[in-house]
């Protein structure tokens, strides 16, 4: 069994070292994710043309226009227009592409993207490994690659010096749920940074929203949240936790096991926009578990063959895009006994 380096870490570097016969005490990558989402299609208006299936379940989209009464001697009123095509959050991802490597082997962690996938926020280990920073990268189109970003100045004081940090965007890209923690932290305050527009600076709420484990990932409606948790402090084993609340203004309640995945030693979960697919790290790679509805249990995890451990490289800390087509991950490869290279990659389906 691989001994994990710290509760909030993606532990992927630890797996690289363990599988290569090296020490299991090296630092591992932190994994945070955010569940991105997409909007709903409209319902068809009565008496009109039936709309296409729209958006995702649960929740409702905008209604189509209500048909008018039948005119004297005339035809019926026009109904609502067609909605967006339904999401399909299933299927294997293709070969991942590299966005950028870290500088001088510094650890990268917690990638999260805005709904249009043009802004990426992640965390990076500073020089010497004594502190962490939130970083922001942007690009002009999704066909372009992200390059290494710059510090998010308004989040510089979000966490005390020396604390790790992981976070995830909400479905509109205007809120960032995040935590600050040490390697020995089991639960810490959940915080929220908000901005009025994508161009505006973040402002951190004075209120905290409950205590959760590292790597928080909120659902589309922000009423459900998944995270990594420590399930065995002696063996330092990780698992998955689920938190709920009834309004966005409330704090999340106590954690509960993720139904169907109670015995899985997973970490760094991210929930798909439709709420039916949960991606997470386990055994050196990324897997997915599916549930038929939001009220049912998840099934047996299915591995992504393109994001599985292969010798000296592993993948972790997944973040799924709003349209379910792309996943962003932390990739770690060991070139020699003292050289771990961290990078951010993405794969599409």
Q: Please tell me the predicted confidence (pLDDT) of residue 85.
A: 60
pLDDT, one tens digit per residue, over 146-174 is 999 999 999 988 999 889 999 999 999 99
Are 228 and 215 a contacting pair, CB within 8 Å? yes
131 contact partners, CB below 8 Å, separation of at least 6 = 125, 161, 162
Compute the distance between CA of residue 16 and CA of residue 224 in angstroms, rounded to an integer. 32
Percent above pLDDT 70 for the chain:
72
Q: What angle do CA 300, 306, 308 make, to 5 degrees?
A: 60
Average model confidence (pLDDT) across the chain? 80
Are 181 and 215 a contacting pair, CB within 8 Å? no
Residue 192: exposure state from Cβ atoms within 10 A (0-12, 13-18, ≥19): buried
Are 15 and 268 a contacting pair, CB within 8 Å? no
Compute the distance between CA of residue 304 and CA of residue 92 in angstroms, rounded to an integer. 6
Compute the distance between CA of residue 315 and CA of residue 285 in angstroms, rounded to an integer. 5
More reliable by pLDDT, 226 or 23: 226
Are 267 and 281 a contacting pair, CB within 8 Å? yes
Q: Please tell me the predicted confidence (pLDDT) of residue 233.
A: 67
Q: Please tell me the predicted confidence (pLDDT) of residue 31.
A: 42
Most confidently modeled range among 74-78, 233-237, 282-286: 282-286
Instruction: Map out the domains of the chain with their CATH numbers.
Output: 12-38+87-348 (2.115.10.20)
Q: Please tell me the predicted confidence (pLDDT) of residue 338.
A: 67
């Amino acid at each position: 069994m691989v001994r994990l380096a710290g509760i909030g870490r993606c532990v992927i570097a630890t797996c690289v070292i363990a599988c290569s016969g090296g020490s299991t005490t090296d630092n591992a990558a932190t994994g945070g994710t955010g569940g991105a989402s997409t909007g709903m299609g409209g319902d068809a208006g009565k008496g009109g043309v039936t709309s296409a299936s729209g958006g995702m379940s649960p929740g409702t989209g905008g209604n189509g226009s209500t048909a008018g009464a039948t005119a004297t001697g005339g035809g019926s009123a026009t109904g609502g227009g067609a909605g967006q095509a339904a999401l399909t959050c299933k299927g294997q991802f293709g070969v991942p592409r590299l966005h950028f490597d870290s500088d001088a082997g510094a650890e990268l962690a917690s990638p999260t993207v805005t709904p249009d996938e043009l802004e990426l926020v992640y965390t990076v280990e500073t020089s010497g490994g004594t502190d962490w920073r939130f970083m922001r990268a942007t690009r002009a189109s999704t066909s372009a690659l992200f390059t290494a970003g710059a510090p998010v100045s308004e989040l510089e004081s979000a966490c005390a010096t020396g604390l790790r940090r992981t976070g995830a965007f909400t479905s509109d890209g205007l809120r960032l749920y995040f935590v600050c923690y040490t390697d020995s932290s089991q639960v810490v305050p959940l915080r929220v940074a908000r901005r009025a527009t994508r161009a505006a600076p973040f402002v951190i709420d004075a209120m905290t929203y409950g205590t959760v484990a590292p790597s928080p990932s909120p659902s589309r409606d922000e009423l459900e949240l998944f995270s990594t948790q420590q399930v065995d402090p002696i063996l330092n084993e990780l698992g998955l936790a689920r938190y709920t609340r009834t309004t966005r203004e409330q704090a999340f309640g106590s954690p509960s096991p993720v139904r169907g995945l109670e015995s899985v030693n997973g970490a760094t979960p991210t929930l798909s926009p439709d709420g039916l697919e949960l991606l997470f790290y386990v055994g050196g790679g990324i897997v997915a578990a599916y549930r038929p509805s939001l009220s049912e249990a998840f099934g047996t995890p299915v591995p992504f063959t393109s994001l599985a451990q292969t010798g000296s490289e592993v993948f972790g800390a997944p973040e799924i895009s709003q349209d379910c087509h792309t996943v962003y991950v932390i990739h770690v490869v060991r070139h020699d006994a003292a050289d771990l290279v961290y990078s951010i990659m993405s794969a599409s389906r």
